[in-house]
């Protein structure tokens, strides 16, 4: 991003920078590509300033008076004040002071309004490191749990795999990556050939953990699956259910179920609104009880938690449903090493050739769409979420077929 004249630093970029330099860089790159559009600076709540080639913008959520002093408030809409919120408050104070406009700053959580003493020097240091990053080449990805919902996820995985970047190895976070680089390993291939005992010493981990990292690197560099435990089996029945849940920002859920019988597959979804869920919950239970002994495949613990939640709320036993749940994530991570950075359903299903019809959508986007649908009740939005959810269920089916074939052959 060498030709930048003005770098825009706003709240979104600042927050992203704190969690991932690359994310902030890619957002900035998009802004530069599409042109900088500044928010309304005359609304009395937006503050902007030019600072060493950077256009700084921040918005105050409201002004209140605390102990007789006018105070600018940042509403963080969460319970706990974290370091990133304090940095944002410092950033606000810094911009205000550049406008010769000093004011007390407070953070509003869901529970309280707390005065914050900003550290302007910290904001200044952060801005100078942002300028350095944005003026250089795109940073390498630093994968973390947050990447699962990041819009740049595919881009980062592609970038890292083309470069053979160490962070492509599942189980290697920022700390381990640094330790590996310090020990002289610079890419996935080198780690795939490493001696686990040597690696365990360099990284301060057990030999078993190091063996897993070496195998994971081998899998990524060869695109091969490795079977590490043959003991788990996958129930194989003619009639099976595949179940996946989408959640809105509130307690509204879309429960999607694909029923596969000998003759056909049928997909249905049930929308349990926060304020009205009883009837649809009942409909969902009736549907999964049509074949009361058939397994219900799902992925990871969230779907189980949702069944438990509504079972609890309805005061009815859901034992029959819970006992039939088969968590494919648990089976996969116990039995295989796969050529994926994350063991998300999306990454795993792609290794068996499954593709989503709406390839740009992820769980986070689906959550936003369900929230939007709830407000607007727009049929097109609902169709989109249902299509995405149906593909999640079909992805479960594709993955189950593949791992069932391998595990059940032993």
Based on the shown chain and the rule CB under 6 A, indicate whether residue 156 belongs to the binding site for ligand SF4: yes
Nearest residue (CB) to ligand SF4, 216 versus 335: 216
DSSP 176-232: HHHHHHHTT--SHHHHHTS-HHHHHHHHT--HHHHHHHHHHHHHHHHT--EE-----
Q: In angstroms, what is the minimal distance from the CB of 27 to ligand SF4?
A: 9
Could you give the string, one character per residue 82-111, with x where binding to ligand SF4 holds by CB under 6 A and - elsewhere? Answer: ------------------------------
Nearest residue (CB) to ligand SF4, 8 versus 407: 8
Contacts (CB under 6 A) with ligand SF4, residues 15-34: 20, 22-23, 26
Nearest residue (CB) to ligand SF4, 24 versus 245: 24
Nearest residue (CB) to ligand SF4, 30 versus 279: 30
- Among all chains, which residue has been given the structure tokens 């030709």? 3
Q: Distance between CA 298 and CA 244 in Å, rounded? A: 6
Backbone φ, ψ for residue 20 (5° rounding): -160, 115
DSSP 33-93: HH------TTSSSEEEEEETTEEEEEE--EEEEETTEEEEEEE--SSS--HHHHHHHHHHH
Task: Choose, by CB under 6 A, the member of 17, 91, 143, 329 that binds ligand SF4.
Answer: 143
Strand intervals (E) in 261-317 = 265-272, 296-298
Counting residues that bind ligand SF4 (by CB under 6 A) gives 13
Q: In angstroms, what is the minimal distance from the CB of 30 to ligand SF4?
A: 12
Nearest residue (CB) to ligand SF4, 23 versus 324: 23
- Inter-residue contact 78 to 110 (CB < 8 Å): yes
Task: Choose, by CB under 6 A, the member of 85, 153, 218, 400 that binds ligand SF4.
Answer: 153
Task: Choose, by CB under 6 A, the member of 142, 192, 219, 252 that binds ligand SF4.
Answer: 142
User: Closest Cα partner for 217 from 340, 347, 55, 115?
Assistant: 340
Q: In angstroms, what is the minimal distance from the CB of 273 to ligand SF4?
A: 32
Q: In angstroms, what is the minimal distance from the CB of 144 to ligand SF4?
A: 6
User: Closest Cα partner for 92 from 37, 15, 162?
Assistant: 15
CA angle 391, 395, 399 (to 5 degrees): 175
User: Closest Cα partner for 134 from 52, 48, 50?
Assistant: 52
Helix axes 120-134, 11-19, angle to 10 degrees: 80
Task: Choose, by CB under 6 A, the member of 47, 94, 134, 152 that binds ligand SF4.
Answer: 152
Q: Distance between CA 127 and CA 52 in Å, rounded? A: 9
Q: Distance between CA 125 and CA 127 in Å, rounded? A: 5
Task: Choose, by CB under 6 A, the member of 18, 49, 64, 146 that binds ligand SF4.
Answer: 146
- Which range, of 115-123, 149-157, 267-275, 348-356, touches ligand SF4 by CB under 6 A? 149-157
Task: Choose, by CB under 6 A, the member of 141, 196, 295, 404 that binds ligand SF4.
Answer: 141
- Which range, of 81-89, 147-155, 248-256, 317-325, touches ligand SF4 by CB under 6 A? 147-155
* Residue ranges that bind ligand SF4, judged by CB under 6 A: 20, 22-23, 26, 141-143, 146-147, 150, 152-153, 156
């Amino acid at each position: 991003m060498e030709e930048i004249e003005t770098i825009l630093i706003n709240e979104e970029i600042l927050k992203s920078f704190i969690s991932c330099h690359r994310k902030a860089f890619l957002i900035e790159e998009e802004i530069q590509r599409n042109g900088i559009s500044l928010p309304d600076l005359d609304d009395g709540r937006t503050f902007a300033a030019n600072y060493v080639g950077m256009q700084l913008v921040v918005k105050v959520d409201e002004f209140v008076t605390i102990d007789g002093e006018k105070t600018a408030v940042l509403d963080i809409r969460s319970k706990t004040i974290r370091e990133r919120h304090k940095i944002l408050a410092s950033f606000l104070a810094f911009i205000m002071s550049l406008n010769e406009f000093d004011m007390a700053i407070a953070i509003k959580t869901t529970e309280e309004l707390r005065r914050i003493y900003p550290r302007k020097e910290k904001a200044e240091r952060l801005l100078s490191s942002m300028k350095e990053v944005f003026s250089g080449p795109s940073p390498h990805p630093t994968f973390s749990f947050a990447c699962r919902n990041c819009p740049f996820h595919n881009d980062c995985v592609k970038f890292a795999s083309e470069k053979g970047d160490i962070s492509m190895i599942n189980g290697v976070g920022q700390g381990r990556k640094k330790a590996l680089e310090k020990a002289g390993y610079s890419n996935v291939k080198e780690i795939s050939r490493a001696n686990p005992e040597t690696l365990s010493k360099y990284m301060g981990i057990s030999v078993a953990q190091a063996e897993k990292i070496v195998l994971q690197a081998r899998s990524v560099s060869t695109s091969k699956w490795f079977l590490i435990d043959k003991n788990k089996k996958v129930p194989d029945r003619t009639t099976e259910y595949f179940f996946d849940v989408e959640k809105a920002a509130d307690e509204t859920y879309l429960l999607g179920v694909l029923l596969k019988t000998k003759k056909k597959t049928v997909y249905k979804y049930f929308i349990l609104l926060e304020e009205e869920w009883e009837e649809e919950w009942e409909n969902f239970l009736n549907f999964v009880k049509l074949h009361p002994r058939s397994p219900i495949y799902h992925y990871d613990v969230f779907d189980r938690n949702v069944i438990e939640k509504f079972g609890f709320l309805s005061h009815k036993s859901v034992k029959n449903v819970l006992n039939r749940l088969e968590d494919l994530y648990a089976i996969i991570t116990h039995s295989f090493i796969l050529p994926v950075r994350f063991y998300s359903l999306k990454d795993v299903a792609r290794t068996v050739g499954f593709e989503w019809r709406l390839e740009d959508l992820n769980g986070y986007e689906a959550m936003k769409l369900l929230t939007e649908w709830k407000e607007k009740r727009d049929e097109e939005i609902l169709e989109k979420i249902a299509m995405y959810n149906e593909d999640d269920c079909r992805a479960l089916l594709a993955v189950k077929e593949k791992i069932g074939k391998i595990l059940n052959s032993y």
